[in-house]
Amino acid sequence: MFDRLIEKKREELQNGICSNKPDNEKDLVTLMLEAGMQEDVSITNEELRHNMAVLFLAGHDSTSNTLSFCLYHLAKNKRAQQKLREEIINILGDDDIDIVPSLEELKQMKYINMVIKEKSLTHINQTLRLNTPLDLLTPRKTVEDIFLADTFIPKDTNIAVDVGALHRDLRNWKDPDEFIPERFEDDGEQKDHEGLTWAPFSNGTRQCIGMNFSLMEQRLVLTMLCNEKVRG
């Protein structure tokens, strides 16, 4: 499937179909192919397939499902919904037009980041507990014998972190089943945590490569949705 799509896009480029389009109207496959046509840049079909797999398989449903669950939690929590909408209106205005926020405007929005983080905390452990595409983080293999606390783990053992248990741990989170975005304020609950207590994208050098892309998508979509006036 990916090979057919790549060849189709190559033909379109060769026939000049996309030549007059601005970059923001081109699809990602076309942009990647154009990048590969530049001097000193080479992108193989295998690399394109891998990138497409990441975007279409790992980066599509996961983000859209996350947004759905975020809207669910906001619908249940009118206080958080109203606070988020007030922040957005304060920055973008309340005109009856569709507005795509700029990067600088998104940077001014603090509460939306708290909503996204708290939603991640909640949905991974509660709603997505039943149907999440990723219950555990990517397994790692120990390179030597090691003790974790009082537990001995021999070399070459596969280990995976249960993110659901991490995010519901009462030693870290007060009322972990409650949707409370203010946990993530600068002086909020999370500032006193020791070690890793929030890891929906994993952590370290092998964390999800699409984390920032996904978070930006969520900020944009939530901002535009919550800025819409309710029309009866």
Cβ proximity of 29 and 48 under 8 Å: yes
Q: What residues are paired with 159 via a beta bridge?
A: 140
Cβ proximity of 134 and 91 under 8 Å: no
111 contact partners, CB below 8 Å, separation of at least 6: 83, 84, 87, 181
Q: According to the annotation, is 208 in a ligand binding site?
A: yes
Alpha-carbon gap, residue 15 to 115, rounded angstroms: 46
Q: Name the token pair of 164.
A: 């659901």
Alpha-carbon gap, residue 211 to 143, rounded angstroms: 27
Binding-site residue positions for heme: 208
Binding-site residue positions: 208
